[in-house]
């Protein structure tokens, strides 16, 4: 995705979901396989000076949502999150950096077939918060798209 599209995607998030503006979320990169969202520590720190768990959970939720939105490319579709689990392994001391990978071609084809047939389908996505090559937070969420 080129720089203009990344800027557009960031502006869309800030416009539609005001908390993303307060968090300073940016769509950093998207190559069709992996999406990277970032947010600076400063507006997202906790009482210990590390990243607030609520900011981390908001960012990973947003990363999963955004990946499905980008893959789907259907502006008429609504995407919601159904459930998720998160594991906080290590504190995040600097920039918050969420990586969400494509779910794999087989899962994606199954999703597309279900969505075409029913106008509704669910997809499980994994997101990691990574700092200096270390996975600090692991997230898995089930997202539902509805037409």
Q: Which residues bind its own copies (CB under 8 A)?
A: 16-20, 22-23, 42-48, 52-55, 57-59, 61-62, 65, 78, 80-88, 91
Tell me whether strands 34-39 and 120-131 are parallel, antiparallel or unpaired.
Answer: unpaired
User: Minimal distance in Å, beta carbon 127 to its own copies?
Assistant: 12
2 versus 16: smaller Cβ distance to its own copies: 16
30 versus 41: smaller Cβ distance to its own copies: 41
User: Minimal distance in Å, beta carbon 106 to its own copies?
Assistant: 26
Helix ranges, the chain (H): 3-16, 18-23, 53-72, 105-118
28 versus 46: smaller Cβ distance to its own copies: 46
Q: How far apart (Å, rounded) are the C-alpha atoms in residues 1 and 87?
A: 30
DSSP category for residue 135: E
Q: How far apart (Å, rounded) are the C-alpha atoms in residues 49 and 89?
A: 17
User: Minimal distance in Å, beta carbon 62 to its own copies?
Assistant: 6
Under 8 Å between Cβ of 80 and 146: yes
With tokens 């005001």, the residue in question is 18
10 versus 55: smaller Cβ distance to its own copies: 55
Q: How far apart (Å, rounded) are the C-alpha atoms in residues 6 and 28?
A: 7
User: Minimal distance in Å, beta carbon 105 to its own copies?
Assistant: 26
């Amino acid at each position: 995705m080129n720089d203009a599209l990344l800027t557009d995607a960031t502006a869309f998030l800030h416009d539609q979901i005001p908390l993303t503006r307060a968090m300073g979320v940016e769509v950093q990169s998207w190559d069709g396989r992996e999406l990277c969202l970032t947010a600076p520590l400063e507006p997202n720190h906790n009482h210990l000076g590390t990243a607030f768990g609520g900011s981390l959970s908001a960012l990973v939720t947003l990363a999963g949502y955004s990946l499905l939105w980008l893959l789907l490319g259907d502006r008429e579709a609504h995407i919601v999150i159904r459930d998720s689990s998160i594991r906080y392994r290590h504190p995040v001391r600097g920039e918050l950096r969420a990586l969400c990978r494509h779910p794999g071609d087989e899962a994606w084809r199954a999703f597309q077939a279900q969505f075409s047939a029913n106008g509704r389908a669910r997809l499980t996505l994994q997101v990691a918060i990574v700092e200096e090559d270390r996975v600090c937070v692991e997230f898995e969420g089930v997202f539902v798209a509805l037409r």
